Chain A
Amino acid sequence: MTMPSVGILNDGAATPKRMTPWQWVGLAILALIGFFGLVAPLIGGDPLIQDLDHVMIKPCLSSPLGTDHLGRSMFARLGHAARLSLLLAALSVLTAAIPGALLGVAAAWRARWTDTALSTIADGVLALPGLLLIVLLTTFAPGKFWPFYVGLSLALWVEYFRVVRAASQTLLRSSPVEASRLLGFGPAYVVRRHLLPELIPVLRTLMTFGAATSVLSLAALGLVGVGLRPPTPELGTMMIELLPHYQEAPWLIAEPIFVLLLAVTGLALVAGERELR
């Protein structure tokens, strides 16, 4: 999950509301997971190597988070899974947000044909549940990563489109925009000074929620067995693999659940309170 670079986009504009302490906590949590996802695969070794002499051992110095039922390092596996989740979230949110927002502005700007065509497509996509779209795509390439990415982006862009279109329609009809046009400013100025400062806070909130949706969807599909396939380390597949062993080794299934919980909590905290304007 990346934060849009507010500083570059609205230089002269007022600094947006300062981050609240809770938003900082959320950011710290995400940074922690990101760091873990970067470092664990490097120092934790191969997440696929089995060691059947040491299965389900408790966390110790040699394997910091224990090993699973096949003796694989949980440290390395969780690291890979965390990296995968965050990467997918960031990628699909960006691919959904950028075109979604641009098309939203376009639809608001050129009311007639462009708006009708784009809105029809968006409504069509909306009629199809997001998860169903992903499941459909996974049948083409079972166990591959790209159907998730494509499916999530396809399902998520509509939200950005609709929100940005509605907000831009109001803004473009407002008197500050009328005043700017009378003063001789063109479309680029209207976007930079009128649309962006108002849209960025909304987009930021939407993007963090979108990222949380992505992380949860990937895990949910893995859990019900239509997502990535074992042995790929992924939070959902790890949960379902470790579920039969929860009585002997409850800490093992708790670990991916905890990482998922942390990631979603972190994102929800960063989203913060929605600005009421």
Chain B
Amino acid sequence: MTFLEVRNLSVQAGATAVVRDASLQLDASQKYTLLGETGSGKSLLAQAIMGNLPAGLSSSGSIAVFGETSAADEPMKRQRLWGHSLALLPQEPWLALDPTMRALSQVAETYQKVGRVPDGVKGARRRASADFSSLGLAGAERKLPGALSGGMAQRTAFAVVRAGGARLLIVDEPTKGLDAGLRDGVVSMLKQVADNGGAVLTITHDVAAARLLGGTIGIMLDGEIVEQGPADQVLAQPRHDYTRRLLAADPESWAPRTQPTPGPPVLTAKGLSKRFGEQQLFADLDIEIASGGRVAVVGPSGSGKTTLGGMLLGVVPPDSGSVSRRPDVPAWKYQKLYQDPIAAFAPRVRLRTSLRDLVSRHGLQWADVEKWMERTRLRASLLDRLPDQVSSGELQRIALVRVLLLNPVLLVADEPTSRLDPITQQETIYLLAECLADLGCALVLVTHDAAIAGNIASRVLTLSAPPSRTP
């Protein structure tokens, strides 16, 4: 049975087409994965199918859900199916849960009100409990979403979506910001849906997740599906040039790089430890970072990677232990790149002003800014915008320029590319490594991606997952 058939779907934002002439089909027990970079229109395509396109966008084409055909611009017809036939698992599902309601109740409520299971509240709670044990959430029933780990929150959200009984599931970036372990868990959940006769449409920029999911893959570029076919075929023998670049950008297939010869130490940390409440993040950690050296800090979410980075920079005080930096080097030569570059800029100040301020604060030349802008392949006109008006990839490079201007001796990069798509990620990491090598600057790369860590760093420091919180 055909669950979903999209024919010649286009989405227009004013005069520009953001999705062009997309067609796809999804049958029972099938998986379809849309793979593409940020801004390629894949999320808009999903929203058009759901019928919740943002205001101001117009759409054309036809969408058939469970054999019922409606025009793309009749979203009401598909909104009627929400929850019980057609459901969306949102990005970062911990934000989609009700923060004031206990985990099990959220699932039970959906069983009762959306799934309309027989024998009311009791039946709903019984089913929810069964879900909790089958999803490995036993013990989390009475927790509030804030007390759940990222993976648990994701499984709870998944249980909520499944409780509605929808057999066609649209999933938006399910693996964004997750480490490999959690990613595999999500993928196996999605595979189960298809194995049980449902159908899953996944939107992602994560090639590894797409590979694990299997099924059919559609590659999206600039609003067009440029290539589609069975996953193993598309990923093994890509026909479109863009698909080839996308696959080459996967950190697993990056070319190995030569390590710089390290010099004298720029930072020595001894006996660092940190606990949050009951939870010991790490204890008695010794780190020495040589000038020009590259250290990667890896570990699952919540293992204290970011905290450790903050400690090295003196932003977070350690519970015990000490961090000593070179006394002859000013504090501002120790710099940081943020996971979300937007978090590094004053939101209402134009980028040009931010950089001009830095130039005058440290007596630099504007020519240096131009030099680094050119080096990082940034257009000067970007600087006339506000931080939220440039793409994440560009903003991260501007953040890099800002840091490089100071000729730093150590840069702590906190997951600098985890929110970027693979091609942009590769460009950014390569650029980062090259620029730092030119300056002889040491790098501490905080990442959850073991492949990137192995490619970049000469030394990998692994933080283990903290023991799970007391139930």
> Which residues 337-373 of B have a CB within 8 angstroms of A?
338, 343-350, 352-354, 356-358, 361-362
Known A178-B315, A183-B402, A184-B406; contact A13-B348, beta-carbon cutoff 8 A: yes
For A14, list chain B residues within 8 Å (CB). Answer: 348-350, 386
CB–CB B332/A12 < 8 A:
no
Q: Nearest residue in B to A179 (C-beta to C-beta)?
A: B344
* B residues in contact (CB < 8 Å) with A: 313, 315, 330-332, 334-336, 338, 343-350, 352-354, 356-358, 361-362, 386, 402-403, 406
Chain B residues, CB < 8 A from A198? 347-348
Question: Which residues does A use to contact B, with CB under 8 Å?
Answer: 10, 12-14, 174-176, 178-180, 182-185, 189, 193-194, 197-198
Query: Knowing A182-B334, A189-B357 touch, does A197 contact B349 (C-beta < 8 A)?
Result: yes
Which among B315, B330, B347, B386 is the interface contact of A184 at CB below 8 angstroms?
B330
B358's closest neighbor in chain A, by CB? A183
Closest chain-A Cβ to B340's Cβ sits at a distance in Å of 8
* Nearest-Cβ distance from residue A230 to partner chain B, whole angstroms: 50
**Quick one: given A13-B350, A194-B346, are A185 and B330 in contact (CB under 8 Å)?**
no
8 A/B residue pairs, CB under 8 Å, sorted by A: A12-B349, A12-B357, A179-B338, A183-B406, A193-B353, A193-B354, A197-B349, A198-B347
A175 to B343: give the CA distance in the assembly, Å.
6
Instruction: Return A88 CB to nearest CB of chain B, in Å.
Output: 33
Task: Establish whether residues A185 and B344, one from each chain, have CB atoms under 8 Å apart when the complex forms.
Answer: no
In the complex with contacts A183-B335, A183-B406, A176-B357 CB distance below 8 A: no
Number of A-B residue pairs with CB-CB distance less than 8 Å in the complex they form: 69
A176 to chain B, nearest CB (A): 5
Find out whether the CB atom of B361 lies under 8 angstroms from the CB atom of A185.
yes
Q: Is the interface of B mostly helix, strand, loop or mixed?
A: mixed
A175 to B335, CA, bound (A): 13
Known: A179-B345, A184-B332. A12 touches B315 (CB 8 A): no
> Taking the nearest CB of chain A, how far is it from the CB of B27, in angstroms?
44
Query: Known contacts A182-B315, A184-B332, A184-B362: does B353 contact A176 (CB below 8 Å)?
Result: no
Chain A, residue nearest B343 (CB): A175
Select A193's contact among B332, B338, B357, beta carbons within 8 Å. B357
| A182 touching B335, Cβ below 8 Å | yes
Q: Are A182 and B346 closer than 8 Å at their CB atoms?
A: no
Contact pick for B353, options A13, A174, A178, A183, CB 8 Å: A13
Q: Are B349 and A184 in contact (CB under 8 A)?
A: no
Q: A189 vs B354: C-alpha distance in the bound complex, in angstroms? A: 11
Are B357 and A185 touching (Cβ within 8 A)? yes
By Cβ-Cβ distance, the 10 closest A-B pairs, closest first, are: A12-B353, A184-B332, A197-B348, A175-B343, A179-B344, A193-B346, A176-B346, A14-B348, A13-B349, A194-B346
Closest A residue by C-beta to B334:
A182
* Distance in Å: Cβ of B59 to nearest Cβ of chain A: 28
What residues of chain A lie closer than 8 Å to B315, measured between beta carbons? Answer: 178, 182
Chain A residues within an 8 Å CB radius of B403: 183
B412: nearest chain-A partner, CB-CB: A182
A189 to B335 Cα, complex, angstroms: 18
Look across to chain B and name the residue whose beta carbon is closest to the beta carbon of A197.
Answer: B348
Q: Which residue of B347, B356, B406 is within 8 Å of A12 (Cβ)?
A: B356
Please determine whether B357 and A184 come into contact, CB atoms closer than 8 angstroms.
no
Please indicate the chain A residues that have their CB under 8 angstroms from the CB of B348 in the complex. Answer: 10, 13-14, 197-198
Shortest CB-to-CB span from B258 to chain A, Å, is: 29
Inter-chain CA distance A167–B49, complex, in Å, is: 40
Residues of A within 8 A of B345 (CB): 176, 179
